[in-house]
Each structure stands twice: as C-alpha cells, then as structure tokens.
Amino acid sequence: MSNKALAGLCLGALGVVFGDIGTSPLYTMSELFFGLHRVALSPQNVMGATSLIIWGLFLVVSLKYVTFVLRADFEGEGGGFALHALLSGDNRKTRRFIQFALVLAAGLLYGEGIITPAISVLSAVEGLKFVTNAAEPYVVYIAVGIIVGLFAVQSKGTGKVGVWFGPVVLLWFLSLAALGVYGISKDPYILHAVNPLNAIRFLMDCGIHGSLVALSTAVLAITGCEALYADLGHFGRRATRLAWLAIPFPALILVYLGQGAWLHGGLTIANSGLDVQNNSLFFSMVPKALLLPMVALATMATVIASQALISGAFSVTRQAIALGLFPRLKIAHTSDEHMGQVYLPAVNWALAVGCILLTITFQTSSSLAAAYGFAVCGVMAVTSMGMWAVSQAIWGWSLARATALFGSFLLLDLVLLTAASLKFSDGGWIPCVLGIIVFAVMTTWKWGRAEVATGIEEQLEPETVREMMMRRRENDWVQSKRSVVVMSSKPIDSLDDHVPAVLKLFHQRFGITPRHIIFVTVVQEKRPVVVRDERVEFVEFCRDEVLGSVVALRLHYGYMETPSVRKALALRKEKNKLRLPGSAKRWLVLVGQDHLHYKGKSPVVALRLKLFGFMLRNSVPAHQYLGLGDDTGVISEVLHVNLRGGSKASAIDSRTSIHPTVA
C-alpha cells in the first residue's frame, strides 16, 4: 500500500472510528466534578482524576484494543460477530456461553446507539449558553432538531457527506490539542498526572465506594473504543493503529491535561481568574472570541460521531440478519461503489425515536451521562471473554498465557462494570433493557427457525429428487410448460436429497409439475465476503427435450453482503445453464408460507412462539430479501406446522442456510 493510500485510510478512520471517543472531553471531566455522581473538588483529586483518565485511555484503548483486540480479525472484519464467527464450531460449554454473551453484547450496542447521539449533540449545543444566556431555554429544542435532521438524511447515504468526516474530525482533534496546550500553560504542574501513582493514590484515598463513583464517570472517556474493532474491515489494522497513535491519542491526552490544569490552577493559584464553578468545563476554557466557532465545530463533530454509530447499527443489523439472528428487514443500498453503505428504515427510525425521547426526558448532557457507560462496560467485558477464547482456539496460546493477559483485562472491565452499575437506577437501566430486548429477539428468532424446520421435517413425508424424477418419467405428474424457481432451505446436491415440501403441496393443489425446475438455496457464510468464483455451485440432474430440466443452485454470500438471487439467476441464464423467460417479471417463484400451531402446555414456550410468530408476520418476505424483487411472480403455499417447543436452536453453525419463509 502506498503512503498516499495509507494516509487516506487514516484520515477516513478519524471521521468514522474515532468520532465517538473524540467527543468525550465535552462532558467527562465536567461530569466528574460537577455531575450527579461527583467527586469532591480539590487539587489532589483533580490531579488523580486526570491521571486516571489518561491511564484509562492507555490501558483500555491503546493496550487492549489497539495492540491486541485488533489482531482478532475474521477475514479482515472485526466486531462482536467476527469473534462469534471465529469461535464457530467449538461446542464446549464455555465457548458456547461466550458466543451467547457476544450476541447479548450486540444488543447492548443498540443501547449505546440511542444514548450517544443524544448526549453528544446536547453537550455541544449547551455551549450556546456561553455565547448568550438567551439560548438556554432553546438548547433542548435545537438538539432535537439536529437529531431529527440527522436521522432524516440517512436514506440518502453517507457517501456524499462522508468525504467531510475525516477533515472535520481532524480539525476537531487539532482544536482539542490546542485547547489542551492552552490549559496546560495556565498550570504546567498538571503534567505530573502522567505518573500512574497519582491515579492509584487517588483511588486509595477515595475508598472503595468513592473509587467506584469516580470510575463510573471516568469510563465516559473511553466510550467509543468498540468502534476501533467494529470498523476494522473498513480501514484495516494498520491504518486504524496509525491514526489512533498519531492524532486522537495525543490530542485526548493533551485536552484532559488541559482541563485538569484549568481546574487545578483555579484551586491552587491565587487570583488566577479561572472559573471552576461552571459545570460546562470544556467551553469555560475556550476564549470568548472563539466560543461560537468552537460550538459550531463541536456540533459538527458530535453529528459525525453519531452518524458513525448509526451506520454501525445498520451494519450490525445486516450481519445479524445474514447470520440468522434477526428477522428480515428492508435493506436499501445507498452506494453503487461501497457494499457496506446500507440503510435500514426500521432501525433508523427506532433509533431516532429513542434518541428524541432521551433528549426530551433528560434535558441535559449531565443527566444523560448518568445513563451512559453501563452498556459500554458490558460490551468491553464480553470482548475480553471472547479474546480469551480466541487467543487459545485461534492463536494457540496456552491457558495460562491467555488468562494472564485477557483475564487481567476482564478483571478491569468487571471493575468498571461494577462502578457503572452505581448509575443503573439513574438511567443506566435504559440501554441494559434495550440490549436484553434485542438479545431476546435474536435468540427467539434463531430458536423459532429451528422449531419450524424440525416441525416441517416431522410432519411431511419427504421425497427425494430421484423419486420425483421417476414420477416425471412415468408420466404420473402432468407437466406445465412453465419454469419455476423453488426456494429450498437446504442445499440439494444429489439425487438422494429431499425436495422442498412446498413443491409437493403445489402438485397436490394443481395436479401438475413444472417442466423446468430450478432449486435455489442461499447460504450465508460466516465470513464477510464470498469471492465471485465461489459464489455459485451448480448441479444439473436432468436436461431433456421431453422431460424438461431439473437443476439446483447453491448461492453463497458473506454476512456483510445482501443476497441477490435475481442477479445470480440472470447470470446463469446468460450462460445457457437455466431455462427461464427473458424477463424476470415472467418468472414464477415457489415459496412456502408457514402457519404455526402450538398445542403444548408451557406458557413460556407459548409466549416465545407468539413473539416469533409476530416477527415472522412482520418480516420482509423471503423472495424480496433474497433479491428477487416485488415484480417477480410468487406462488405461496401455506405449510401448517405443528410446533412442540422442544427443539434447541444452536447458536453455533458453520454457516446459515436461508429458509424461504423463516430465515
């Protein structure tokens, strides 16, 4: 890779990856000394708290994530689902527990997703109060307006505005560094905060409860560190590491030192003139002549940070759908050049409503900070557990080595999680409850799919491809001249494989069988992208002028890709492999529509099946999600499925086959 290309990736990473953690200085130190869970304001506490934040950035972000976690990529991709994929196939109970925990962590990220835009935008707009007191009554309204506008433009895609992300965030970090140097110049003694003994002494002096209170707020400085790992596939390990070490890390160290110096100097230097009573510490440091430009820059930076997180929520949801962990939702591609740029209306407006409600309810960034951090700490703890397992299963580390390193990180994460739990009743329960709801949806969807597949197999007499073709030869089945695409949940590779039950129901209803039958199975692999040469597997069972043709296609897609069966079929037709009409509007696609019945006695299973049935009815039809289009002719046969509620849906599959109606 050329230096120019690497520099471009680093600039892009600044805007997408580091926006969230880069806006933390707007509220972290203010919340520490002026918030709901405040620490007593004294020179010693200021020095210790500043040291605590600096070493938190080093230990958690630079050491844990940048040095070690970024190594755990799955074919170049990162994030919780990458760890999930790396551990697939290992059925040991410990690894299975970690995989379920990773699914829960994915749910917690949605909780973070509704808080980040609200707290970030509010903290930036609150700077208007320093410009003029008349702005104070309108801060919430302005913040809500910005949030509404942010979510309203998501359908346009991030491609056009994304080009501005890097330069704007670069300017933001340079401004943070300059502001930090300005603050340090007021009291250079704060540079002693780089000594970790100050942080240790601070925690010891605070006692157990006081230390947890301080940590519950200090953790706000590292929120957003998961983005380094989640966006690994967009920019790569090298660019992400270089960008962090070159710009955000030193800039954040400087600005926190500057804020500490501002407070420390105001408490120790006689007639310093430093205002340490205002709870918006960040903007109190900004010279009055630069206040309005800084408020504007901060607002742009927080919008970018929010945009990156929203886009991340879209990507995570699409991955969950591909892995069979989430109901099918409408997915719109907003770029012809970048596969990862997608828009999910349902997710977008669910996040928008959540953000707006939080903004109106909590009113200030300080109040929202009380609800922030719990979900983040939970995700960090699960990541440490996943890394402990991956280091042994993939890297070949010994148990002792893996436990020594990632066990230490996990212990730190659990301490932070315990500290963050102090804020549970103040709003920390919000992202937690949302995460549990998303977790319940994911696990119920996967469990329900397994229940339906088991029910169909038990109730219908299966028929093999060989038996079906014998009937065709014996003229037991009257043939129509039409070609029919039959969606199959399981790959059909040999004459002894079973044909989908929906084809048998079609014959029973109409007394005919299609002349040309094309079985199609979509398999979404647990890898991000499938190369074109490996996309299609083609099996031809029969090609006869009298009997017609029977072929089977297995289409492979990665979890970062959206299937397009229509495109794949058209491509095979061009190569004279399929008998299909020229226009896709004349295609007939045979799918099954499941009608669920449950006669068991367990109220828990009954409730879970009701939830699954609701998701099934409201999910996007399979043929649309798989890329066959609304204008394709679809024949739907109802499959009455009696469910027992006894199947155990495994969370560990090497790959996921898309069921025509319940994937």
Query: Looking at residue 565, what is its pLDDT?
Result: 81
Give the pLDDT mean for 599-613.
77
| Per-residue pLDDT band at 1 (split at 50, 70, 90) | low
**What is the band of 655 on the pLDDT scale with cuts at 50, 70, 90?**
very low
Residue 659 clears pLDDT 70, i.e. is over it: no
| Residue ranges of E strands in 469-511 | 478-487
Q: Which of 352, 380, 358, 347 shows the shortest CA–CA distance to 428?
A: 358
Is residue 124 within 8 A of residue 295, CB to CB? The reply is yes
Range from 334-338, 430-434, 471-475 carrying the lowest mean pLDDT = 334-338
The reported pLDDT for the residue numbered 375 is 81
pLDDT at 647 over 50: no
Question: Domain residues of the chain, as ranges?
Answer: 3-427, 446-657
pLDDT the model gives residue 546: 66
Q: Is the pLDDT of residue 631 over 60?
A: no
Residue 660 has pLDDT above 50, yes or no: no
Tokens (6 digits) for 579:
């008998």
Confidence at residue 516, expressed as pLDDT on a 0 to 100 scale? 81
Rounded-to-integer distance, Cα 278 and Cα 217, Å: 18
Instruction: Give per-residue pLDDT as tens, 251-281.
Output: 999 999 999 999 888 776 654 555 544 457 8
Strand bridging mode 478-487 / 588-598:
parallel
Average model confidence (pLDDT) for the chain?
Answer: 80
Residue with the larger pLDDT of the pair 284 and 62:
62
Does position 476 have pLDDT exceeding 90, yes or no?
no
Provide the Cα torsion 639, 643, 646, 651; round to 10°: 40
What is the CA 312 to chain-centroid distance, rounded?
5
Write the pLDDT tens digit of every residue in 142-179.
Answer: 989 998 988 888 777 655 555 678 888 999 999 999 99
DSSP 8-state class, residue 575: T
Residue 647 in contact with residue 447, Cβ under 8 Å?
yes
Identify the H or E element spanning 574.
helix 565-574
Backbone angles phi, psi at 37, to 5 degrees: -105, 70
pLDDT in tens, 550-588: 888 888 888 777 788 888 887 777 766 677 766 666 677
Percent of the chain at pLDDT above 70? 82
> Is the Cα torsion angle 559, 561, 562, 567 positive or negative in sign?
negative
Among the listed ranges 94-98, 578-582, 658-662, which one has the minimum average pLDDT value? 658-662
Highest mean pLDDT, choosing among 118-122, 416-420, 510-514: 416-420
Per-residue DSSP letter, 621: P
Res. 198 pLDDT band, cuts 50 70 90: very high
**Is residue 420 predicted with pLDDT exceeding 70?**
yes
Q: What is the Cα 635 distance to its own chain's centre? A: 35
- Segment 530-543, tens digit of pLDDT: 887 788 888 888 77
Cα 186 from Cα 321, distance rounded (Å) = 53
CA neighbor of 225 nearest in space, from 370, 435, 59 = 59
Average pLDDT over residues 438-444: 86
Strand partners, 536: 555
Three-state DSSP state, 516? strand
Sequence-distant (≥ 6) Cβ neighbours of residue 630 within 8 angstroms: 624
Q: What is the pLDDT of residues 311-354, one digit of tens each?
A: 778 878 887 887 778 888 887 766 555 555 678 888 888 889 98
Q: Return the closest-CA partner of residue 565 out of 634, 489, 624, 500.
A: 624
Average pLDDT over residues 511-537: 80
Q: Report the SS3 class of residue 642.
A: strand
Going by pLDDT thresholds of 50, 70 and 90, the confidence category of residue 436 is confident
542, 548 contact by CB (below 8 A): yes
Query: How confident is the model over 31-39, as a mean pLDDT?
Result: 83
Which range, of 17-26, 323-332, 464-473, averages the lowest pLDDT? Answer: 464-473
Tokens found for residue 335: 């770029």
Cα 517 to Cα 504: distance, rounded to the nearest angstrom: 13
Cβ atoms 524, 559 nearer than 8 A: yes
Q: pLDDT at position 41, please?
A: 86
Provide the 3-class DSSP secondary structure of residue 17: coil
Residue 57 has pLDDT above 90, yes or no: yes
b/e burial code for range 506-530 (CB count within 10 A of at least 16 → b)? bbeeeeebbbbbbbbbbbbbbbbbb
What's the pLDDT score for residue 483?
A: 75
| CATH of 3-427 among 1.20.1740.10, 2.115.10.20, 2.60.34.10, 2.60.120.620 | 1.20.1740.10
